[in-house]
């Protein structure tokens, strides 16, 4: 900060004026003292002493002023020099501050550019990776069909998988609670399907989502379905996401509209492409034809799905357990209890209302039990091109 320095000439003029006043004052005091001393009446009085003291003081003032006037140019020059040095230092500090600000801006610009270049590289790498994955997936789809099964616990997911395969390979809820992803590959396992698949088949079984009992199951399933990451990542960015061509969602006809199910459906509506979805209403064999209507239940379920974000939902009824027993019967794998259960199913599905063929767009009546329980038609939907 610049300090204002008084003008030297003005200072000298002011000091000289004061000196002149003191000199005139001294002359007057000396004249008065002579007059007092010449008067015999007052020559030894205290008044003379007072005048002498005043004269001495005035002479001292004149001496001080004379010394100040003599030193003033040097002091003024020193002040000017110090002020100039201070201004120069302040200017240098300001210049350094500005230089540092410029350097900081340049560093920030450099860092921003590096981050932008890094982001661009990452984006390009991600796009190339996604494109390569898409091409690889398209190539895979020529020879392989991947089906993912999901639903709440005890909806009959494992039973349906076993019914499609024709073997008791997937453990049902009565045996264990599925807490991990399971895979069933037709290249490694012989699938006893009624409709021959046009390509190899991989069935992916996911844990049943029941938050109250096993909250970690929902997390495992959501990751497999393609859970989004914390930074806005989408399906393809989730490295643990499963590759699947169709998602089969299984409803338990005995327990529709539970809180767990509604939360799971909401997640699927937000994260799974709608063209991959197939809905299956299982355990319709538990309906009482006198009180329950499969047709009305399907219509209501479609209406609810439409209201929950699933346009034109495809919903197909099935009795997965009946279908499994039919296939096991062919290979003589039924226990006596299963034989009695199968007989009860045959009796139930002898009624026209339980012929599920009609809900697959087939109007021609048939005695084929695989048609009636829905497994044949579902396999045709899944496996035919």
The per-residue pLDDT for range 188-209, each reduced to its tens digit, is 999 999 999 999 999 999 988 8
118, part of any domain: no
Q: Is residue 178 part of a domain?
A: yes
Q: Mark whether 59 and 188 lie in a shared domain.
A: no
Question: Does residue 113 lie in a domain region?
Answer: no
Residue 163 lies in a domain: yes
**Domain at 377, CATH number:** 3.40.50.300
Following DSSP, what letter does each residue of 21-58 receive, concatenated?
A: HHHHHHHHHHHHHHHHHHSTTTTTSHHHHHHHHHHHHH
Last residue of a domain, one of 108, 133, 162: 108
One domain, residues 280 and 349: yes
Residues 287, 342, single domain; the answer is yes
Going through the chain in order, the beta strands assigned E by DSSP cover: 144-151, 182-185, 200-205, 246-252, 277-282, 315-318
Identify whether residues 216 and 316 lie together within a single domain. yes
| DSSP 8-state class, residue 282 | E
Q: What is the pLDDT of residue 329?
A: 92
Query: How many CA atoms lie less than 13 Å away from 165 in the CB half-sphere?
Result: 25
Cβ atoms 295, 253 nearer than 8 A? no
Is 93 in the same domain as 221?
Answer: no
C-alpha 179 chain-centroid distance: 27
For residues 205 and 190, the answer to whether their CB atoms sit within 8 Å is no
Give the neighbor-by-neighbor strand order of the sheet with 246-252. Answer: 182-185, 200-205, 144-151, 246-252, 277-282, 315-318
Q: Is residue 129 part of a domain?
A: no
Q: Tell me: the pLDDT tens digits for 45-56? A: 777 788 888 888
Q: Are 284 and 317 in contact (CB under 8 A)?
A: yes
Neighbour tally for 378: CB within 10 Å:
25
Residue 40, pLDDT above cutoff 70: no
pLDDT on residue 1: 55
Asked if residue 187 and residue 66 are part of one domain, the reply reads: no
Per-residue confidence (pLDDT) for residue 235, from 0 to 100: 40
Number of H helices, E strands in the chain: 10, 6
Task: Tell me, rounded to whole angstroms, the distance of Cα 71 from its chain centroid.
Answer: 76
User: 48, 82, 108: which is the final residue of a domain?
Assistant: 108
Nearest to 238 by CA among 222, 218, 214: 222
| pLDDT value for 356 | 93
Question: For 122-145, what is each residue's pLDDT tens digit?
Answer: 999 989 988 998 899 899 989 999
- Report residue 159: phi and psi, to 5°: -65, -40
Query: 282, 248, 283, 238: which is closest to 268 by C-alpha?
Result: 248
Q: Give the dihedral sign, CA 219/222/224/226.
A: negative
The verdict on residue 120 lying in a domain is no
Domain extent, residue 327, equals: 144-383
Burial of residue 54, with CB atoms counted within 10 A of its CB: 0-12 exposed, 13-18 middle, 19 or more buried: middle
Residues 99 and 148 in one domain: no
Arithmetic mean of pLDDT over the chain: 86
Asked whether residue 66 falls in the same domain as residue 20, the answer is yes
* Total of domains in the chain: 2
Give the C-alpha distances (Å, rounded to integers) separating 40 from 49, 65, 244, 306.
15, 36, 137, 136
Q: Are 245 and 145 in contact (CB under 8 A)?
A: yes
**φ, ψ of residue 279 in degrees (nearest 5):** -100, 135
Q: Is residue 138 part of a domain?
A: no
Domain match, 221 and 315 both: yes
Q: How many CB atoms lie under 10 A from the CB of residue 285?
A: 20
Q: How is residue 166 written in tokens?
A: 């024709």
Average pLDDT of span 259-285? 92
Q: Are residues 182 and 302 in the same domain?
A: yes
Tell me whether residue 2 is in a domain: no
Residue 192's pLDDT is what?
94
CB 380 within 8 A of CB 370: no
Choice among 51-55, 95-99, 286-290 with the minimum mean pLDDT? 286-290
Q: Is the domain of 194 the same as that of 318?
A: yes
Are residues 303 and 236 part of one domain?
A: yes
């Amino acid at each position: 900060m610049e300090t204002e320095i008084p003008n030297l000439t003005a200072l000298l003029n002011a000091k000289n004026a004061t000196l002149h006043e003191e000199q005139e004052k001294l002359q007057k005091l000396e004249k008065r003292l002579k007059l007092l001393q010449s008067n015999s009446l007052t020559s030894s009085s205290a008044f003379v002493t007072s005048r002498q003291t005043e004269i001495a003081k005035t002479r001292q003032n004149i001496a001080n002023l004379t010394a100040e006037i003599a030193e003033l140019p040097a002091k003024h020059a020193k002040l000017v020099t110090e002020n100039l040095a201070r201004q120069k230092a302040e200017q240098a500090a300001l210049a350094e501050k500005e230089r540092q600000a410029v350097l900081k801006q340049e560093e920030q610009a450099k860092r921003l550019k590096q981050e932008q270049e890094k982001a661009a590289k990452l984006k390009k790498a991600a796009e190339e990776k996604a494109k390569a994955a898409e091409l690889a997936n398209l190539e895979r789809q020529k020879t392989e069909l991947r089906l993912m099964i999901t639903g709440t616990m005890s909806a009959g997911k494992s039973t349906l998988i076993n019914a499609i395969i024709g073997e008791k390979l997937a453990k049902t809820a009565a045996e264990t609670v599925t807490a991990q992803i399971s895979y069933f590959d037709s290249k490694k396992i012989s699938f006893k399907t009624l409709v021959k698949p046009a390509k190899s088949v991989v069935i992916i079984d996911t844990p049943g989502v029941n938050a109250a009992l096993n909250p970690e199951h929902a997390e495992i399933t959501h990751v497999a379905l393609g859970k989004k990451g914390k930074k806005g990542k989408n399906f393809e960015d989730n490295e643990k996401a499963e590759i699947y061509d169709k998602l089969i969602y299984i409803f338990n006809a005995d327990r529709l509209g539970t809180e767990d199910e509604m939360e799971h459906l909401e997640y699927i509506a937000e994260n799974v492409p709608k063209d991959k979805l197939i809905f299956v209403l299982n355990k319709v064999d538990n309906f009482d034809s006198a009180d329950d209507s499969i047709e009305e239940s399907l219509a209501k379920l479609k209406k609810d799905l439409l209201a929950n974000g699933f346009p034109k939902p495809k919903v197909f009824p099935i009795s997965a357990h009946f279908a499994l027993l039919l296939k096991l019967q062919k290979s003589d794998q039924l226990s006596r209890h299963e034989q009695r259960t199968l007989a009860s199913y045959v009796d139930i599905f002898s009624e026209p209302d339980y012929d599920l063929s009609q809900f697959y767009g087939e109007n021609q009546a048939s005695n084929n039990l695989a048609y009636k329980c829905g497994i044949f038609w579902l396999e045709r939907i899944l496996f035919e091109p």
